[in-house]
C-alpha cells in the first residue's frame, strides 16, 4: 500500500529537484546559445551543436526508465546531475568545435536523463485524481525556468559570457547536494527490461508531446539568434520574452490542474493545438516586441494543457511498478523535439521559406494525430482512446 504522505513527499521534493533542473535546462539553452553566437559559427553548425546530445539520450531513456523501476531513482539523479553540470561548465572553457561537441553530447545526455528521472521519481505513485498533483509538480518545477532564463541574460550583459559558466558550476554543486539530502529511496525487486514494447501503447503521447515541445525549442533557438544578431536586442530582453512563456506554462498547470477532471479533459488537446497555431501566426506576422511576448505566452499555455491531459491519463492507466518504463520511453519526446525544433527551420531555409514559417508544421501534425485518434475511437477501437 502506498501512503498518501509518500505520494505528497515525492511530488513536493521532486518539484524542488525539478526547479533546479529546469533552471539548468534554461542555462543550457541560453548560455551555450549566446556562447555559440559569439564564435561566429554557421547556422548549420549552430543547429548541430544545439541538438547533438539528444541523439544519444534518445537511446538511453527507455533503459534508464526500466532501471529506475528496479533500483529507484536516487543514484541516477546524483550521477546524472554531476555529469550534466561539469560538462556544461567545460563547454565554455574551449573554442574547439570537436571538444565542444563532446562536452555537449555528455551534458545533453546527462541533462535529459536527470530530467526524465525527476518526472519518474515525482509521479511514480500518482494514480487517482491526478490532475491537481500533476499541476503542482509541473507548476512548481517549471518556475525554475524563470530563474534560469532571467539570470543568464542579466549576468552576461553585466559580466560577459565566460563568468556565466562558473556560475553554472557553483549553483550546480548546490543542486546535487540538495538531491543527495532529500531524494527518497526506492527498491522494487522487479526485473529490469528495456521499455520498447511500450511504444505501441504511448506512441500518440510521444508524437503529440514532441510537436508541443518542438514549438518551444524552435522558438527558443531561432528567436534567440534572430533577436541577438538581427534585431540587436540585449540578452535580458530575450530572457524576459521566454519568461512570459514559462509563466503561462506554470500558471496553466496550476489552474487547469485544480479544475480538470476526466469529463472535461478531452477539450485540452484541441485547445492546445489552437493556441499553437495562434503562436505560429503571431511569430510569422509579428513586427513588434509585444508580438513576440504573445508568441511565448501562447506556446506556454498550450504546453500546460498538453501536460495535464497527457500525464493524467498515464497516471490513471499505468501502475507504479511500470511508471519508469512508460515515462522513460515518453522521454523520447524531449530528445526528438530538440532535434526537430532545430532542424525543421533549417530545412525551410534550404527551400527558400522563412525560418518561422516552420512553426506551422508542429500544430498541424498535432491536429492530424488528434483527428486520427478520433477516427479510431469512432470505429470501435476504444481502450486507450476512451479518454478523448
Residue 297's Cα: distance from chain center in Å?
16
How much of the chain is helix, strand and coil, in % rounded to 5? 85, 0, 15
Per-residue pLDDT tens digits for 81-135: 899 899 889 988 887 778 887 887 788 778 877 888 899 888 988 887 889 999 9
The CA distance from 36 to 260, in Å, is 42
For the cut 70, the answer to whether the pLDDT of residue 208 exceeds it is yes
Is the Cα dihedral 227, 231, 236, 242 positive or negative?
Answer: negative
Distances (CA, A) of 252 to 103, 210, 249: 35, 19, 5
Q: Which residues, 6 or more positions from 230, have their beta carbon under 8 angstroms from its beta carbon?
A: none
Mean of pLDDT values over 360-375: 91
Which pLDDT band holds residue 190 (cuts at 50, 70, 90)?
A: very low
For 52-87, how does the pLDDT look when each residue is reduced to its tens digit (9 = 90+)? 666 667 667 767 777 777 777 888 888 888 998 998
CA distance 82 to 76: 10
- The answer to whether 250 and 372 have CB atoms below 8 angstroms apart is no
pLDDT mean across residues, the chain: 81
Q: What is the sign of the dihedral through the CA atoms of 331, 332, 336 and 338?
A: positive
Mean pLDDT of all residues in 331-354: 81
**What is the sign, positive or negative, of the torsion defined by CA atoms of 201, 203, 208, 210?**
positive
Distance CA 118, CA 111 (A): 11
| Nearest-10 Cα torsion for 21, 26, 32, 36 | 150
Residues 145-182 as b or e (16 or more Cβ within 10 Å = b): bbbbbbbbbebbeeeebeebbebbeebbeebbebbeee
Within 8 A by CB and 6+ apart from 96, the residues are: none
Amino acid at each position: 500500500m502506498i501512503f498518501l504522505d509518500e505520494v505528497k513527499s515525492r511530488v513536493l521534493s521532486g518539484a524542488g529537484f525539478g526547479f533546479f533542473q529546469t533552471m539548468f535546462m534554461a542555462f543550457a539553452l541560453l548560455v551555450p546559445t549566446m556562447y555559440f553566437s559569439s564564435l561566429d559559427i554557421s547556422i548549420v553548425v549552430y543547429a548541430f551543436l544545439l541538438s547533438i546530445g539528444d541523439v544519444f539520450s534518445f537511446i538511453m531513456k527507455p533503459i534508464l526508465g526500466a532501471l529506475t523501476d528496479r533500483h529507484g531513482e536516487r543514484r541516477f539523479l546524483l550521477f546524472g546531475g554531476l555529469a550534466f553540470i561539469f560538462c556544461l561548465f567545460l563547454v565554455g572553457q574551449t573554442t574547439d568545435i570537436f571538444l565542444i561537441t563532446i562536452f555537449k553530447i555528455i551534458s545533453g545526455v546527462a541533462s535529459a536523463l536527470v530530467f526524465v528521472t525527476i518526472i519518474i521519481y515525482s509521479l511514480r505513485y500518482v494514480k487517482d485524481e491526478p490532475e491537481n498533483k500533476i499541476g503542482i509538480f509541473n507548476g512548481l518545477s517549471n518556475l525554475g525556468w524563470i530563474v534560469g532564463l532571467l539570470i543568464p541574460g542579466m549576468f552576461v550583459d553585466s559580466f560577459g559570457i565566460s563568468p556565466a559558466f562558473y556560475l553554472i558550476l557553483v549553483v550546480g554543486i548546490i543542486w546535487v547536494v540538495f538531491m543527495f539530502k532529500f531524494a527518497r529511496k526506492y527498491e522494487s525487486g522487479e526485473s529490469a527490461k528495456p521499455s520498447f514494447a511500450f511504444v505501441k501503447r504511448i506512441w500518440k503521447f510521444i508524437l503529440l508531446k514532441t510537436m508541443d515541445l518542438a514549438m518551444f525549442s524552435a522558438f527558443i533557438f531561432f528567436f534567440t539568434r534572430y533577436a541577438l544578431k538581427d534585431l540587436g536586442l540585449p540578452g535580458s530582453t530575450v530572457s524576459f520574452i521566454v519568461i512570459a512563456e514559462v509563466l503561462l506554462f506554470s500558471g496553466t498547470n496550476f489552474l487547469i490542474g485544480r479544475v480538470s477532471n476526466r469529463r472535461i479533459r478531452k477539450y485540452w488537446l484541441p485547445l492546445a493545438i489552437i493556441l499553437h497555431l495562434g503562436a505560429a501566426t503571431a511569430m510569422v506576422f509579428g513586427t513588434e516586441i509585444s508580438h513576440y511576448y504573445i508568441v511565448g505566452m501562447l506556446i506556454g499555455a498550450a504546453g500546460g494543457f498538453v501536460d495535464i491531459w497527457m500525464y493524467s491519463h498515464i497516471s490513471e492507466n499505468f501502475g507504479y511498478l511500470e511508471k519508469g518504463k512508460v515515462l522513460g520511453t515518453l522521454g523520447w519526446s524531449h530528445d526528438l523535439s530538440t532535434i526537430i525544433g532545430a532542424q525543421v527551420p533549417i530545412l525551410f531555409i534550404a527551400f527558400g521559406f522563412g525560418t518561422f514559417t516552420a512553426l506551422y508544421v508542429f500544430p498541424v501534425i498535432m491536429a492530424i494525430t488528434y483527428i486520427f485518434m478520433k477516427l479510431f475511437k469512432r470505429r470501435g477501437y476504444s481502450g486507450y482512446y476512451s479518454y478523448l
